[in-house]
Amino acid sequence: MKIKILTQFPDMFGPVFGESILGRAAENGILDIDVVNIRDYTKDKHRKTDDSPYGGGAGMVMTPQPAFDALSAVGAEGKRVLYMSPRGRILDHALAQSLAAEEEFVILCGHYEGVDQRIIDAWRMEEVSIGDYILSGGELAAMVLVDTVARLIPGVLGNENSGNEESVYSGLLEYDQYTKPREYGGLSVPEVLFNGNHELIHLWQFENSLRLTKQRRQDLLEKYLANHKILTKKEKKILDNVLSEPPKLEDED
């Protein structure tokens, strides 16, 4: 997959994209990320890429010329172009999946007060937000988006399954995880995880996921229930049990 990222701060990306899962995906040729400096395309003699907003107000707005030229140069025509912005659709698993199916897409990162609206309109950009808070620029948001999309590309995760079982993907929050040692400072691991009975372990994980989701994310639980997942008899019994329990108070954890 090819991703072109247009930014005024290209140096922010190197450390993140060179490490861990993203770094390995790039080395293996699965992911080809091209970070493009918008400033390289400005025709302004002071290399400016932004200006004060018409109508007044604080901050600076990205001017059309460098953005249009950079978008043309990376071949954004006809491709999905995302603009990272707190006004956008909230990034979720469904959006990440739809992007993971693309061969190539483009991301524009804005800074300060944003970009001239003509850039967004003319390039039919999809505005994408990573949450209801304001970052100082779209760069961190673009890194979050690329990371979550990359994990869904076949071959990027060493273990093909580990992307599938996690939180939100299955519709429930992920169950608690434990590793060695079995005892640490008097703290132990739930007994069920040692009995070798995979069905019992699965049922414990399912119950744990359900409880967490009910406690923390009522919205996800409602979606999960509306999706009418096919459950075994034992799973159904656990689900009914958890649903019939009175809600836990915040400080009971």
Q: Which residues bind ligand ADE (CB under 6 A)?
A: 84-86, 129-131, 133-135, 138, 141
How many other CB atoms sit within 10 Å of the CB of residue 220?
17
CB of 105 to ligand ADE, least distance (A): 16
Q: Determine the 3-state secondary structure of 249 from DSSP.
A: coil
Closest CB to ligand ADE among residues 140, 153: 140
Closest CB to ligand ADE among residues 4, 214: 4
Which residue number is nearest to ligand ADE in terms of Cβ?
Answer: 141
What stretches of the chain adopt beta strand conformation (E)?
2-7, 32-37, 50-51, 61-62, 80-90, 104-109, 126-129, 183-184, 187-188
CB of 189 to ligand ADE, least distance (A): 38
CB of 204 to ligand ADE, least distance (A): 37
Closest CB to ligand ADE among residues 66, 110: 110
For the record, the structure tokens of 220 come out as 């996800």
CB of 58 to ligand ADE, least distance (A): 15
Residue pair 195/201 in contact by the 8 Å Cβ criterion = yes
Closest CB to ligand ADE among residues 17, 204: 17
Closest CB to ligand ADE among residues 98, 215: 98
Q: Determine the 3-state secondary structure of 246 from DSSP.
A: coil
Calculated CA dihedral for residues 106, 112, 124, 99, nearest 10 degrees: 40
CB of 216 to ligand ADE, least distance (A): 21
